[in-house]
Amino acid sequence: MGVDSNTLATWLADYDPSQITIGVVASHSSLQILHGARLEGFKTLGIAVGENRRRYYKAFPGAEPDEWLMLEDYREMLDYAEWFRERNVVIIPHGSLVEYLGSSNFRSLQVPTFGNRGILHWESSRERQRQWLEAGGCTMPKVYNDPHDIDGPVIVKYAGAKGGRGYFIARDYRDFRRNADLEDEFTIQEYALGCRYYLHFYFDPTATDGFQVQGRGSHAGQNLGRLE
């Protein structure tokens, strides 16, 4: 169950606009968010499990949060909802949040969040992501439902926002069986060769002209191992 607009409006009515704090789960996904929030003059809150996260962020002074909330488990965020609201926190979601908290828990989080909560339900599933891209007319690599059908180079991807951890290339069923962790959910996808590009599309609701900021990152000379 999600959060309805009336409930959200009630929360925001008690917020002090001059004291908004941007809260994020501290992972590689949030470095740019925290850096950008600081540039815009917002206070920032890092949410993490384990001291290693906090030490890691000290290497990035421009992205180190102003304050930390250290937890034993990310699901404890659900119990801190009132604590977040008392501090005017707006949670900015990203892939690691979905991985650690779960899309269902995120949708029921009793804290204001940026963006459409329902979209992360789609982003948490490779199958649903593929439906989106194919519906938009994108040409997608072939997916193999049966590893016995592998007849050329494939990449095996595990579910979740793990930054590619555990992915491997296989040429045939023997390769697959030698490296696969059958206990984990995975996708077998045709391995497409070429340059890797990351395209970003973002609608800025605060802009008077509704301008869409577009970004592009390229890794020339590297093989296209995944489209995420």
Residues 94 and 138 in one domain: no
CA 228 – CA 223 distance, rounded (Å): 14
In this prediction the pTM is 0.71
pLDDT at residue 228, as a whole number:
37
* 87 and 163 within one domain: no
One domain, residues 59 and 95: yes
CATH number reported for the structural domain that contains residue 15 in this entry? 3.40.50.20
Question: Could you tell me if 44 and 73 lie in one domain?
Answer: yes
**What distance, in Å, lies between the first and last C-alpha atoms of the chain?**
27
Same-domain check for residues 204 and 118: no
Same domain, 76 and 88: yes
d(CA 91, CA 110): 10
Q: Which among 79, 94, 124 is the end of a domain?
A: 124
**Series of mean pLDDT values for 10-residue runs along the chain (228 residues):** 84 95 89 89 93 81 90 94 97 85 87 85 78 89 94 87 76 93 87 75 65 54 42
Which distant-in-sequence residues (6+ apart) come within 8 Å of 114 by Cβ?
90, 91, 92, 93
Q: Are residues 204 and 146 in the same domain?
A: yes
**Same structural domain, 24 and 36:** yes
Read off the CATH number of the domain in which 207 is found: 3.30.1490.20
Q: Are residues 110 and 178 located together in one domain of the fold? A: no
Q: Sheet containing 168-170: give its strands across.
A: 143-144, 186-190, 154-158, 168-170
Please say which residue of 92, 124, 156 terminates a domain: 124
As for how many domains the chain has, the answer is 2
Same domain membership, residue 148 and residue 98: no
The per-residue pLDDT for 222 is: 46
| 24 contacts 45 by C-beta, under 8 angstroms | yes
Query: In the listed set 124, 151, 171, which residue is the last one of a domain according to the structure?
Result: 124
Whether residues 102 and 160 fall in one domain: no
Q: Which domain holds residue 47?
A: 5-124
72 and 140 inside one domain: no
